[in-house]
Structure 1
Amino acid sequence: MLFNSFEFLVFLIVVFGFYWFVFNKKVKHQNILLLLASYIFYGWWDYRFLSLIFISTLVDYFVGLQLYRTTKNAHRKLLLGISMAFNIGLLAFFKYFNFFVDSWIHLLNNIGYHTQNTWTLNIILPVGISFYTFQTMSYTIDVYRNKLKPTGDFISFAAFVSFFPQLVAGPIERASNLLPQILGQRTFSYEKGMQGLRLILWGLVKKVVIADVLALKVDDIFGNYHDFGGGVLWLGALYFAIQIYCDFSGYSDIAIGVSKLFGIELMSNFKFPYFSRNVAEFWRRWHISLSTWFRDYLYIPLGGSRGSTWKSLRNVFVIFLVSGLWHGANWTFVVWGGVHAMLFVPSYIKGSNRKYVDNVVAESSWFPSLREAGQILFTFLMVVLAWVFFRSESLASALEYLSFMFTKFNFPPIYKNGLYSVGSLLFLDWIFRKDERLNFTFLEIIDKRVLGIVEVVVIIAVVYLISLNTSSGQFIYFQF
């Protein structure tokens, strides 16, 4: 079930009504409703995969309880290993089995051992498996580290794992944030409801009005890049950079907004990454829930920045390469991660990777300084070039695409719709850059008496109707 579909609009209204007007007396009843709604939402794609998420939930629920009950280190390690083996095994089989088999066969053929591939399977990738497996693993790891007390309420835990707004494309929530909210009493807040509706509206605009419009042009350019000059290929890379940002951050905005309607706060997943002043800042603002997950559960356990410089750089490359592989079973994603690692290294060596942690660019003025503008443009350019690997079907096509960008360059024709979309997005992002949750009442600037909940709902309904006529509706990150 897609956020930008009429089915989801009806689904959301029905669940919202039952949640606040029928089952609002007891948290347990609300959680049963959330669990049922989440399984309906997930089963809408393919009900057969509900068994996977249920078994994953069951395994980590009981592992968490046993971790809390035993004090023997060997037993605790065994229990953690069971959880890791199951979740990583699940992910490896459905997402990476064919990839590794194909890569192994290709390697053997290259070194002279010619063999046919008879091992690959016709495997369907379950939607959202990369997200909910990471979410359940973080729960088990935190219980193992004694940072979290496990819950004995299976319904609430299952609702935490399958919470439908963020189930299939994040944010990847931590149990320490989401689970207490699932377990606790929730009350409806008109103010949070309005904030949620604004985020839903803004997310739908980014997805339907910008991402889906750019997708048509991006698909044409990347699918037929041999037929275009370098100028058009530059536009294709730029359009994809904006498309994937609007597509993914739009999903996150809607997920956060929908959660607010149910009295639940999710973590921010994007903080205007294209205004970053170096790649380190970009990764603190892009897909935050994933980058912090790898930081806490991979980078720091590997030693983080402790130890020698070489070991620290090794750890940096490990998390970027694994992050690339997480995105997809293709060497293009691994190379994309490696490119970002190389872009990250200079700031790490100079010690500037922690320079822009809390401050926002041009925080006290309307315009950035010339130095900041140069940093933003350079970082954005590097990120756009790296996106070519992410979007291309193979390494060969990515390298050829990049070479044509520089060797076949010509001034491209003006695609007004695409440029309008890019310009509008960057302009609005610049205005909103200090608050990714849109907590300020920008809609009420016009007239507080005119713009209220009815008007916002009408606007959302109109955007949903527009979305029914678009040719591209699927969110990009569903494939990851």
Structure 2
Amino acid sequence: MVFSSETFLFLFLPGFLALYYLTPWRWKSLTLLAGSYVFYAWWRVDFLLLLVATTVFTYYAGRRIRHAADPQRRKVWMGIGVAGCLGVLGVFKYAGFFLDSLTGLFGTTPDQIGMHWQILLPIGVSFYVFQSVSYLIDTYRGDAPDDVRLVDFMAFIALFPQLIAGPILRYKDLADQFRHRTHSVEMFSEGMTRFFIGLAKKVLLADAVAPVADLAFSGSDPSLTLAWLGAAAYMLQLYFDFSGYSDMAIGLGKMLGFRFIENFDAPYISRSITEFWRRWHISLSVWLRDYLYIPLGGNRGGTGRTYVNLMTVMVLGGLWHGAAWTYVLWGFWHGGWLALERATGLAKSRTPLALGRTLLLVLIGWVMFRAVSVPDALSVYAGMLGLNGLHMSAAAAFELTGESLAFMVIAAMVAAFEPNLRRLSSDGGSLAPRPDGTLTVASAVGPAVLTTTIAALTVLKLAEQSFSPFLYFQF
């Protein structure tokens, strides 16, 4: 079940919200847990067992850390808990990749030696494992609360608004909200508006430009024109697909009384790769900083050590996205530029040239991120250099619709002016009264008109298009 499906919009969400608001406060976490498990089991019931097992294991490992008699025991239990959680990722996400890579070094394949490991990747596993690991480390550091109820923790890990593709949350940031949170018409209205803005990003922008990206990356040896168009289309598709999901997750959270952290802040107006990572997938950047970069020593071990730490973090961040060499190389690309910017001071540049350079570097990286394999990425790079010809074939030109190109222009404009658009929507998207306590017509009617218009457009578009899953579901 995905947020952009009729099943979720017209069956699950209305039914769950009705049940949730009818539930007394002391049972709300249980209702939230049950609804989240139904949401996850809609995909596959068997992998729900893995989610439950990981959650219970993490909770009880956290208790052993908290009640350990001495610091050494706390460290041992923290190590056991983190190893157990990462072991889930190792088995389900990386075993096949490392086996393929290892046998490839010896000129053979896993099939030839009878060791092929092929297993379905559980949806959302990278996100809920990272949340589990952060809880264990925070508990070890003394940052997590002591009075954690099992039902609250299970509801936190399974929280359906962000279970599949983030933002990556930390229990210490939501602990107080599980004990007490506010439900109001104003907050519900803000959440609904935010949800439909995210849905519009996904349906009206990301899905609209996706055919151009698919055309460039699905064929062989794309021409210069098609390669650049496809790379730009994917750059826009990925952003509006993923940020749209994050908006929907944050909006759903508000409808349930939760306030999640922001996950994007107009990343395509960044003037350096350093700034880009402060604006793109913020929850992942914060997680990597707090639980990997700083424990590795951060920038405290000298210049050389800092560069190594940056590279290590970005490579592992790339590998987190997927078990393939394309993601590893994408991590190297970003890690290398982060180190170079720190060494040269480019991170502080604020010129228009810096904006153009950053967009180009990000776009080049997205080609490797999108490609199925390294040779496929090199084929697109060759096209971008004009080595596959300047003009696209007649067949490609026939498939390239004017509608997709028009939506690319619209999406680029939205990405460029997003901060201004966000201010406009926030000014007219709140039911908050004036200081004198009165409500203006605009503040009362504006949110309803905005939400209704966006919802109508997206539902109409959903009715005419085929199913399109969110890109980050594969990670």
Q: TM-score with structure 2 length normalisation?
A: 0.91
Contact 1:84 1:137 survives alignment (8 Å): yes
Structure 1 residues 300 and 291: alpha-carbon distance in aligned structure 2, compared to 1, 3 A threshold = same
- 1:201 partnered with 2:187: no
Q: Give me the identity figure in percent.
A: 38
CA distance in 2, matches of 1:121, 1:114: 8
1:338-378 C-alpha deviation (Å, 9 max, x unpaired): 1111221221113454x48xxxxxxxxxxxxxx63221111
Q: Tell me the amino acid that sits aligned with residue 101 of structure 1.
A: L
Greater Cα offset, 445-454 or 84-93: 445-454
- CA deviation vs aligned residue, 1:398-444 (integer Å, no higher than 9, x gap): 11220121124536668532332233233234443168697623468
Q: Does 1:251 align with 2:245?
A: yes
Aligned pairs for 1:13-28 (under 5 A) are 13-20=14-21, 22-23=22-23, 25-26=24-25, 28=26
Note if contact 2:428-2:443 (Cα within 8 Å) is conserved in structure 1.
Answer: no
Secondary structure of the structure 2 residue equivalent to 1:271:
coil
Aligned 8 A contact 2:93 2:121 in 1: yes
What residue identity is the alignment partner of 1:394? S
How many residue pairs match? The answer is: 458
Q: What is the one-letter code of the residue matched to 2:177? A: Q
Aligned 1:138-177 pairs, distance under 5 A = 138-177=134-173
SS for the counterpart of 1:341 is: helix
2:364 aligned with 1:385, yes or no? yes
**Map of 1:8 onto structure 2:** 8
Contact 1:239 1:418 in 2 (8 A): no
Is 434-443 or 63-72 further displaced after alignment?
434-443
Alignment of 1:21-60 (within 5 A): 22-23=22-23, 25-26=24-25, 28-60=26-58
Among residues 70, 73, 76, which one is paired with 2:74 in the alignment? Answer: 76
Correspondent of 1:453 among 424, 448, 453: 448
Does structure 1 residue 191 correspond to structure 2 residue 186?
A: yes
Does the Cα contact within 8 Å between 2:202 and 2:241 map onto a contact in 1?
Answer: yes
Structure 2 equivalent of residue 363 of structure 1: none
Q: Is the 8 A contact 1:237 1:384 kept in 2?
A: yes
Higher mean alpha-carbon deviation, 243-252 vs 113-122, is at 113-122
The answer to whether the 8 Å contact 1:212/1:472 transfers is no
CA distance in 2, matches of 1:211, 1:114: 37
CA offsets 1:21-80 (integer angstroms, 9 cap, x no match): x11x32x31111100000001111101111111111111111212212123122112211
- Which residue number corresponds to residue 467 of structure 1? 462
Q: Cα RMSD (Å) of the superposition?
A: 2.4
Kept in 1: contact 2:193–2:450 (CA 8 A):
no
The amino acid of 2:375's aligned partner reads A
Residue 409 of structure 2: aligned partner: 423
Question: Which residue pairs with 1:283 in the alignment?
Answer: 277
Q: 1:19 to 1:457 in 2, by over 3 A?
A: farther
Check 1:156–1:42 CA distance in 2 against 1; reply closer, same or farther (3 A cut).
Answer: same
- 1:372 partnered with 2:351: yes
Find the aligned partners of 1:223 and 1:92 in 2 and give their Cα distance: 29
Question: Aligned with 2:248: secondary structure?
Answer: helix
Distance (whole Å) between structure 1 residues aligned to residue 157 and residue 124 of structure 2:
11
SS at match of 1:433: helix
User: What is aligned with 1:87?
Assistant: 85
Structure 1 residues 432-441 or 95-104, which shifts more? Answer: 432-441
SS state at 1:440 partner: helix
Q: Distance in 2 between matches of 1:265 and 1:435?
A: 21
Distance 1:295 1:449, change over 3 A: closer
Distance 1:458 1:423, change over 3 A: closer
- Where does structure 2 lack aligned partners over 5 or more consecutive residues? 431-439
Distance 1:318 1:149 in 2: 31
The CA distance in 1 between the partners of 2:378 and 2:280, in whole Å, is 24
Determine the C-alpha separation between the residues in 1 that align with 2:382 and 2:415: 31
Contact 1:6 1:465 in 2 (8 A): no
1 CA distance for matches of 2:208 and 2:58?
Answer: 41
Q: Does the 8 Å contact 1:108/1:115 carry over to 2?
A: no
Instruction: Extract unaligned runs of 5+ from structure 1.
Output: 357-370
Give, in whole Å, the separation in 1 of the partners of 2:214 and 2:470.
14
Distance 1:455 1:393 in 2: 39
1:127 matched to 2:128? The reply is no
Give the AA of the match of 2:336: M
1:75-111 superposed Cα distances (whole Å, 9 cap, x missing partner): 112211111111111001000111000000101118x
Q: Which amino acid aligns with 2:412?
A: L
Structure 2 CA distance for aligned equivalents of residues 14 and 417 of structure 1: 36
The answer to whether the 8 A contact 1:151-1:157 is kept is no
Partner of 1:213: 208
TM-score (norm 1): 0.90
